[in-house]
Amino acid sequence: MKVEAIPILADAMKEYYDNYELERLCSRFDVEIDYEEMYPDHLKLARKLIDEIEDARHRRLLEDLLPELLKRCLERISNTTWENNVYHEHMLPQLRVLQILIGHR
């Protein structure tokens, strides 16, 4: 998988999951989260998930996570004013590319 996917995944997790929700999701798949001070290190988690995608836990987490990120992005686009949803509109095609990369690896 391309290294460009790492910051996209990290940004999406940070934007669309709160810290506790992300912790619960990772614990469901027995994936440890590193912390930067008291907050999850999203970049390190994204790097781990993508670099070690052959690990069944990481693959299952990604397979569960990516459709939910896409769903949440679409919800934000439809529920915010056009002035506020530029970020989400730019994130949408990137999340679709991530899904393709994960599915075709």
> What's the pTM?
0.89
The CA-based angle 14-78-10, given to 5 degrees, is: 15
pLDDT tens column, 35-53: 998 999 999 999 999 999 8
How many other C-beta atoms lie within 10 A of the C-beta of residue 56?
10
| pLDDT of 1 strictly over 70 | no
pLDDT tens column, 9-27: 999 999 999 999 999 999 9
Look at residue 80 in the predicted model and tell me its pLDDT. 85
Nearest to 15 by CA among 76, 58, 102: 76
Look at residue 81 in the predicted model and tell me its pLDDT. 83
